[in-house]
């Protein structure tokens, strides 16, 4: 479905390639695909620079390094198409990203955030605007909510989108995007899901995660 293709490829955080979603990964396989951070034998991922520790749902595959690279480049090209601006992604790091199917995925990314860039909230609001603009240009019918959420007693900005089918009779996929400035980095998590069970897996994962860095 063309609409779904765009939903899963926008803003460095949408496109999870499902090529490895139907293949069982051993713990060793998962660990080999992690570029930053560590994954231990209990399926717990740790990234020390923001003090993040999260237990992964066991039935989800870790996205391959090659797929993550393609995702970054595709996200960059879509943003350029929408804003007519090149963005620098050389310092953006893919942390842990998971895939269960084309419509059910998780992505986390990290970028340095310098004080000279201005208030972090302005960056977040700009991201919201870009997402809405891309959807409108691609004819994607969606409703949006902007919220705050607490994860381990830290406030996150949250952007939620419900994307409808062509006759608007049902929601075909949900996108929840979480933003937080932490330890000098812009940290983003994106949840994509189309059913309750996978939504629960993803939300349990992030809401039970821990952060030892508090600012």
Residue 2 is predicted with a pLDDT of: 45
> What are the tens digits of pLDDT across the range 10-33?
433 343 333 444 467 899 999 999
Residue 44 has pLDDT above 70, yes or no: yes
Q: CB-side exposure of 150: number of CA atoms within 13 Å?
A: 2
Q: Tell me which residue range forms the domain holding 19.
A: 2-211
DSSP symbol at 19? G
Pairwise pLDDT comparison (155 vs 14), residue with the higher score: 155
Q: Is 43 exposed, middle or buried (0-12, 13-18, 19+ CB in 10 A)?
A: middle
Q: What are phi and psi of 5, to 5 degrees?
A: -60, -45
How sure is the predictor about 7, in pLDDT bands with cuts at 50, 70 and 90?
A: very low
Q: Structurally, how many domains does the chain consist of?
A: 1
In the predicted model, what is the mean pLDDT of the chain? 84
Least confident of 49-58, 69-78, 127-136: 69-78
Least confident of 33-47, 80-94, 122-136, 140-154: 80-94
Pick from 114, 213, 198: nearest CA to 154: 213
CA–CA separation, 180 vs 124, rounded Å?
A: 9
Count Cβ atoms below 10 Å from residue 203 Cβ, excluding itself. 14
Tokens representing 140 are 């994607």
DSSP symbol at 132? H
Q: Is 96 helix (H, G, I), strand (E, B) or coil?
A: coil
Characterise 23 by phi-psi region: left (phi > 0), alpha (psi -120 to 50), beta (else). beta
Residue 164 has pLDDT above 60, yes or no: yes
Residue 68 has pLDDT above 90, yes or no: no
Q: Model pTM greater than 0.75?
A: yes
Q: What are phi and psi of 58, to 5 degrees?
A: -70, -25
> What are the tens digits of pLDDT across the range 92-130?
888 999 999 878 999 999 999 987 888 999 989 988 888
Give the CATH number for residue 137. Answer: 3.40.1000.10
């Amino acid at each position: 479905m063309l609409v779904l293709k765009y939903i899963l490829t926008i803003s460095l955080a949408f496109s999870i390639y499902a090529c490895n979603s139907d293949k069982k990964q051993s713990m060793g396989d998962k660990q080999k695909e992690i570029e930053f951070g560590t994954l231990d034998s209990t399926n717990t991922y740790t990234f020390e620079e923001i003090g993040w520790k999260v237990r992964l749902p066991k039935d989800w595959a870790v996205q391959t390094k090659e797929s993550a690279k393609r995702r970054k480049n595709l996200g960059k090209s879509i943003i350029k198409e929408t804003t007519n601006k090149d963005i620098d992604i050389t310092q953006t790091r893919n942390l842990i990203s998971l895939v269960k199917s084309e419509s059910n995925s998780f992505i986390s990314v990290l970028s340095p955030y310098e004080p000279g860039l201005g208030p972090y909230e302005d960056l977040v609001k700009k991201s919201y605007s870009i997402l809405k603009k891309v959807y409108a240009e691609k004819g994607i019918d969606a409703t949006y909510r902007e919220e705050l959420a607490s994860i381990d007693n830290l406030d996150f900005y949250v952007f939620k989108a419900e994307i409808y089918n062509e006759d608007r009779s049902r929601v075909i996929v949900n996108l929840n995007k979480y933003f937080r400035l932490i330890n000098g980095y812009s940290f983003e998590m994106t949840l994509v899901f189309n059913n309750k069970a996978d939504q629960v897996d993803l939300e349990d994962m992030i809401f039970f995660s821990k952060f030892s860095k508090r600012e």
